[in-house]
Amino acid sequence: MSPTNNIGYMLHHLSFVLARQSDQVLQEQLGIGFSQFKILMALQIGPSVQQRQIADKLGQTEASISRQIKLMHEQGLLVSIKNPQNKREHITRASTKGERLTNKANEVLNAYHSPMFHHLNVKQQEQLLEILAIMHDYACVSTVHHLDK
């Protein structure tokens, strides 16, 4: 069987290539890595996202996320406040600078990857997005069930 006939292989390889390209373009144009961008995106879930939730969502260790968050605090991309319901807990969110950078990074990545999507018509793009959403939801649920065992 050719690797190009293996859906799992193709998805994994494409994901790896796109992540590497995204990291490079974000580093060159904005001075942040793809991991930092993903953390900024994960923080958009809601105002009280914990590091463990970010790590789970991104498939990384909590220690890795903690290191990245510390660096991002130092860069002024994140701010932390005490949780009004639990004074021992801190809530991390994007600073104004972090929010602007997230928006700019989305623009940069969309512009960089858009030529790839010119090969698909609008209906194919919509179908691809639907399929990816289904696969994403399944993979996330499978991960949660696997971790609970």
- pLDDT, tens digit, for every residue of 13-53? 999 999 999 999 999 999 999 999 999 998 887 656 778 88
Q: What pTM did the predictor assign?
A: 0.80
Amino acid sitting at position 119: H
Q: How many CB atoms lie within 10 A of CB 145?
A: 9
Strand, coil or helix: 90: strand
How far is residue 110 from each of residues 25, 107, 117, measured CA to CA in Å? 11, 5, 10
